[in-house]
Amino acid sequence: MDIKEYIESGILELYVAGTLSEKENQEIYALLLKHPELLDEVLKIESAIVTLTAAVSPTDTKHLFQAVKEKLGIQTDKDTPVRPLHKPGTNWFSYVGWAATLVIGLGLMWFVNQNNNLKDQIQTVETDKELLEVTLEKYSNDLTETKQLITFLRDKDIIAVPLAGQAVSPDSYAKAYWDKKTNTVVLDVQGLPEPPQGKVYQVWSLTLNPLTPTSLGTIDDFSTDDNKLFTIENANASEAFGITLEPAGGSESPTLEQLYTLGAVEQTS
């Protein structure tokens, strides 16, 4: 290759500027090792640029090296004393450093603590949310039941039978809503007192001539049911409904002395 022509091309100036590609840089490096005159040219270009750029420097830089060494924690020219940047004895950089470390450490602990607190709070909120969901579910079910009940009560074929209080408990009352199509009776027993321990209310379907009672079942969960509404099956041709207080488990036939309420079915047809 023509060395002179290569130099004249201006590529070495660009090499020093650092604008060539990595591949070109490697090629030039290989050439520099082979041709000393190329290396000599590069050194001269570099020298010119070093001088030019240094001329732009607003200050001398020798005194700035001490701080660089300190930051790197290295020690050169131990025998030549270097002008210290900080007065000896006032090693407040170190104190500030330790103080900062302490502050950061405490800060981190505080953050960890805050983080844990927040996690606890999230857990609490999650639990609350689950409880609310359960409650909501319950209300939603209650609402559905109520709607079903209203739909049932509004049906035009429902026969409403008021049951009046009898001798043993004149203030008692109850209501029966009888749907003959579905053979269902909804019994509203809110007007009955709590049954005493060991006793249950038993519901009877009655035909009057002759008087024949048929048990429709006992109300076992009277106390625990909030709205005191009970749905029972009734496929009988009832002419009246009665509620008696019976020993737990119910009786074969009604104990008439303990007849709490009684009401006749109004014959509409």
Partner 1 sequence: MQLEQLVSKFQDKDEKAFETLYNMYSESMLGVIYNIVRDHDIAQDVMQEVFIKAWHSADSYSSKKGRFFTWLINISRNAAIDKIRSKSFKNAGKNLNSDYFVDIIQDHDSLEDKTDAIGIKKFVGKLKKKCIEVIELLYFKGYTQKEASETLEMPIGTIKTRNRNCINELRLMLEV
- CB-nearer residue toward partner 1: 26 or 148: 26
Told to check if 86 binds partner 1 by CB under 8 A, we report no
Q: Which amino acid is at 123?
A: Q
Told to check if 34 binds partner 1 by CB under 8 A, we report no
Told to check if 6 binds partner 1 by CB under 8 A, we report no
Residue 75 CB neighbour total at 10 angstroms: 9
> How far apart are alpha carbons 95 and 258 in whole angstroms?
94
Told to check if 58 binds partner 1 by CB under 8 A, we report yes
- CB-nearer residue toward partner 1: 74 or 167: 74
Q: Where are the alpha helices (DSSP H) in the chain?
A: 3-8, 11-17, 22-34, 36-56, 65-72, 92-154
Least distance from partner 1 to the Cβ atom of residue 143, Å? 58
What does the DSSP assignment read for 28-41? Answer: HHHHHHH-HHHHHH
Told to check if 90 binds partner 1 by CB under 8 A, we report no
Q: Which of 59, 90, 94, 269 binds partner 1 (CB under 8 A)?
A: 59
> How far apart are alpha carbons 46 and 52 in whole angstroms?
10
Q: Which stretch binds partner 1 (CB under 8 A): 3-11, 130-138, 198-206, 257-265?
A: 3-11
List b or e across 115-139, with b for residues whose CB sees 16 or more CB atoms inside 10 angstroms: eeeeeeeeeeeeeeeeeeeeeeeee
CB-based contacts of 207, cutoff 8 Å, min separation 6: 214, 236, 237, 238, 239, 240
Told to check if 51 binds partner 1 by CB under 8 A, we report yes
Residue with tokens 């809503």: 177
Q: Which of 1, 2, 5, 74 binds partner 1 (CB under 8 A)?
A: 74
Q: Which stretch binds partner 1 (CB under 8 A): 74-82, 83-91, 228-236, 250-258?
A: 74-82
Told to check if 111 binds partner 1 by CB under 8 A, we report no
Told to check if 157 binds partner 1 by CB under 8 A, we report no
> How far apart are alpha carbons 182 and 231 in whole angstroms?
12
Least distance from partner 1 to the Cβ atom of residue 105, Å? 26
Told to check if 80 binds partner 1 by CB under 8 A, we report no
For partner 1, the binding residues (CB under 8 A) are 8-11, 13-20, 22, 25-26, 29, 39, 42, 44-62, 64-65, 67-69, 71-72, 74-77
